[in-house]
Amino acid sequence: MQRLYNGYESTFNVMTDSDYPEVATPDNSRSLNTLIRAISLSSGRQFSLIFVRCNYTELQEQICQDLHQHSGVEIRELVLSPSTNTLYGAIKTEVGDEPLSALMILGLENVTDLDNLLLATNHIREEFRKDFKFPLVIWVTDEVLKQFVRLIPDFYNWGAPPISFFLTSAALIEFLNRGVEAVFAQESVASSELELARQDLQGRGEELAADLAAGLEFVWGREAYFQDNLDHAIVHYQRSLSLGESPPNQHPERKGMIWVHLGLCSWRQAELNRAEKRRYWQEARDYFQQGIAVFEGVQRPDLVAQFIGELGEVLQRLEAWDELQELAEKGLRLHQRLWK
C-alpha cells in the first residue's frame, strides 16, 4: 500500500511469511526492520540502548508512525522540553516504576543545555541499567551524535552503531523547495534543517537549480537579518537577486520580496546609525519602491498592500510629502480594489 506523509511517499509490501514488514524505500527499508528487531529483542525484559540517527523532523515523524504501525511492541514516546536538565530524571518522571515495553526519546536537539544533560547522564549511567528494564530508543541528529561521542563515550558505547534514516536526493530537493517557499511566504521554518539538506546534496555531488539556490540565499539573508547581522544579510540578498536572474525564473514575485527585504535592512541600519539615518532612509525608499514595482508588474496587489505601509513610513521620515500623498492615493485605490 502507498501512503503520503508531508510530501514523502513510502511503499510497504507486507510479507505474510515474515514477522517484519519490508519497506520498499531502498535507503530506509533495512533500517526500519533493524530498528523493529532491536526493540523486540529486549522489549520489557532488559535495558538496551538504541541510537537512531535522523536529521529531519518530517522524516522522523514518518518513521515513528511506521514504527508504531508495524512493530509488535508498544512503544511510549517522551519528547524532551528545551529546559530538560537530566535525561534520567525526565524518564523517571514520565514512567515512574511502571513496567514498559520500550521508550523512545525525542527532542534532544532542542535541549538548551545539552552538554550538561549529557554529562549528568554519564555520571549516573549505571542507574539506567538498574532501573530501566526496557529498550531506550534515542533519536539523534548528526550534531547531537557528535556530542555523545565527544562528551560521554562510555554511555554511548553501550549501544550498537546508530541506525540511520536518510532522505533521497529527490526528497531533499523537494524539502528545500517547500522550505524556501514557506520562507518567502513569511512562515517559520527550521533553517538549520534546510542547511543540512543543502550539505547532504552537496556531499552527493548534486547541483542545485539556480532558482532554488537563489531561494536559499534569501533564507540565509533572513536568518542574518533577524540576528542583526545586516552586512551578511545584504550580501545574501544580493546573491539571491543575482542567481534569480538566471532563467528559468519560476517565481518572479520573489525578486520583489528580496528588494523589500533589502529595504528592511536599510531601515534597520538607519535605526542603528543615527548619524547616517537619512542616507539609509533614502536607500530603503528606493528598495521598497523597486519591490512594489515588481509586485505590480506580476499582478500581486496583495503583496503591494502588505508592504506599501513600509514605503509610506520611510517617505514620512524623509518628509517627502508629495510622494507620500501620491502613495496614499494609490493605497486608497488598492484598498477599494481588494475589498470591494
Span 48-71, average pLDDT:
95
pLDDT at 337: 75
Separation CA 66–CA 25 (nearest Å): 12
- Look at residue 292 and give its three-state secondary structure: helix
The pLDDT tens digits of the residues spanning 3-22 come to: 323 333 333 232 223 333 33
pLDDT of residue 43: 87
Q: Which residues of 170-193 are buried (b: 16+ CB within 10 A; e: fewer)?
A: ebbbebbbebbeebbeeeebebeb
Of the candidates 169, 167, 102, 174, the one whose C-alpha atom is nearest the C-alpha of residue 138 is 102
Residue 198 has pLDDT above 80, yes or no: yes
pLDDT for res 203: 92
Q: Is residue 237 scored above 90 in pLDDT?
A: yes
Average confidence score pLDDT of the chain: 89
CA distance 33 to 38: 9
CB contact set of 154 (below 8 Å; sequence gap of 6+): 122, 125
Residue range 94-98: mean pLDDT, rounded: 87
This prediction's pTM: 0.82
| pLDDT bucket at 61, cuts 50 / 70 / 90 | very high
For the chain, the helix, strand and coil percentages under 3-state DSSP, each to the nearest 5: 65, 10, 25
Is 70 exceeded by the pLDDT of residue 149? yes
What are the beta bridge partners of residue 164? 53
- Spatial CA neighbour of 142 closest among 169, 119, 165: 165
For position 221, what pLDDT does the model report? 97
Tell me: pLDDT of 211 over 80: yes
DSSP H/E element including 149: helix 142-151
If one looks up domain 2-164 in CATH, what number appears? 3.40.50
What's the rounded mean pLDDT across residues 307-327? 94
Rounded mean pLDDT, 228-243? 96
Task: Tell whether the model's pLDDT for residue 87 goes beyond 70.
Answer: yes
Q: 5: buried, middle or exposed (CB in 10 Å: 19+, 13-18, 0-12)? A: middle
Query: Peptide bond before 248: cis, by omega within 30 degrees of 0?
Result: yes
* 255 vs 336, residue with greater confidence: 255
Categorize the per-residue pLDDT at 247 as very low, low, confident or very high, splitting at 50, 70 and 90: low
Domain extent listing, the chain: 2-164, 252-340
Instruction: Indicate whether 294 pLDDT > 70.
Output: yes
Residue 266 has pLDDT above 90, yes or no: yes
- Grid coordinates belonging to 313: 513610513
Long-range CB contacts for residues 139-143, cutoff 8 Å, separation at least 24? 139/52, 139/54, 139/60, 139/104, 139/105, 139/106, 139/108, 140/51, 140/52, 140/53, 140/54, 140/108, 140/109, 141/53, 141/54, 141/55, 141/108, 141/109, 141/196, 142/53, 142/55, 142/196, 143/109
The amino acid present at 181, given as its one-letter code, is E
Q: Rounded to whole angstroms, how far apart are CA atoms 144 and 52?
A: 11
Task: Using pLDDT thresholds of 50, 70 and 90, give the confidence band for residue 204.
Answer: very high
Which whole number is the average pLDDT over 26-40? 88
Mean pLDDT of 197-209: 93
Read off the pLDDT of each residue in 67-76 and give the average, rounded to a whole number. 94
Q: Is the pLDDT of residue 112 over 80?
A: yes
Would you state the pLDDT for residue 188? 87
Average of per-residue pLDDT across 282-310: 95
Q: Give me the pLDDT at residue 165, please.
A: 95
Name residue 231's amino acid. D
